A and B are shown apart, each in its own frame.
Chain A
């Protein structure tokens, strides 16, 4: 039976992804746009993520050791050269929210020995906690280093009584020894998609948002369904001339800001960043 399955579906088993028009017939392909010009580095997205996804607060000492669990982190970079004035160094600071890029050709997926991480039909890079054995190869191979490992049994200390009551019941509390990462708030998507399916429709644009997108005070994060051509995210991707299935983007004119991080590694990320516009004279 498995052999006949193999023979019957041979062509689909031999397809490489992503390819042009991969999601044309699919109902969903989740994607994001992050406008770095709008990001003020307030960390509201991080806080929202901690609350939504039951992320443990690890404490100062473990944070110092690099064992923090922030699925979305605000990275602060300083400009170089003229952009960095000694009088007002903050002038050169810029922020970059970094979360799992949900790569279409994710480097973390093929290396997992047990298949705990794989691609879902709606274009998400999923992580199955129950299956994970903790070899950490995915993290080693992730160029963005956005996978976080449970070095300790964090629940022991992260939520002292009565704080455990604020845990999100829709999200697993992870135990020691498993890898975890941003899921694009899978629990919200799942609930939304199931509801829409019951009602015989697909989710409308903006009906479900990730916690970070919802919390962002400047609306720097846009989240939506790329398979829906009319959604805001799809239009932004089109306007920014970013093609999901290409590893280098040709822009028709100067000043189009959309780019994907480390695209040259053929990861085909699902997040487009809009470059910051800077007034160098000011």
Chain B
């Protein structure tokens, strides 16, 4: 069944929190708490707590990066030194480990950073995560609550959201 969306804007964080609490305890059918999205100009850990656990997996990508980057880097550097026409430089070993460590370290950082960035974009579904409902004021000073639900539940949700002094309720079935 196709889902509908509704977005309520709040000026006050406490009111938004109350609205979330009521949504959570309403226990109505046709809608799940996972489908509730809070849009805010800054991070609100207090509101996120009400939404339930939303785990972040970025650190595992980072771990992968910091493990793979330096090992492949060191092997590449050492084998490049070895496959270069046999050149002794300044009496040093052809594959000198301390200097190679310097580059390995840089590659450790670089691959860690790149994997983190990659993971972030994957996790945030960027670029191009165009949510159906958006209002520019959530990037200024308002807090938006976006709910995705079955169309028949929307009026009830709108009613709950409307009880907490929203500035506006937007969506297909808004007043």
Where the two chains meet, the residues of A that have a C-beta atom closer than 8 Å to any C-beta of B are: 1-3, 5-6, 9-10, 12-18, 104-112, 115, 117-119, 268
Contact = CB atoms under 8 A, between A and B. Distances in A.
Interface residues of B, number: 18
B88 A118 contact: yes
A7 to B, nearest CB: 9
B79 interface: yes
B87 interface: yes
Given A118-B88, A119-B87, A119-B88, A5 B79 contact: yes
B83 interface: yes
A105 B88 CA distance: 9
A17 B88 contact: yes
Contacts of B94: 12-15
Contacts of A119: 87-91
A115 B81 CA distance: 10
B95 A6 contact: yes
A30 to B, nearest CB: 15
Interface in B54-80: 75, 78-80
Nearest to B94: A13
B95 A118 contact: no
Interface in B77-118: 78-84, 87-95, 99
Contacts of B82: 2, 5-6, 9, 13
7 contacts: A5-B82, A13-B81, A13-B95, A105-B91, A106-B90, A109-B89, A110-B90
Given A16-B91, A106-B91, A119-B91, 15 more contacts: A2-B83, A5-B82, A5-B83, A6-B95, A12-B94, A14-B94, A17-B91, A105-B90, A105-B92, A109-B90, A111-B90, A119-B87, A119-B88, A119-B89, A119-B90
Nearest to B87: A118
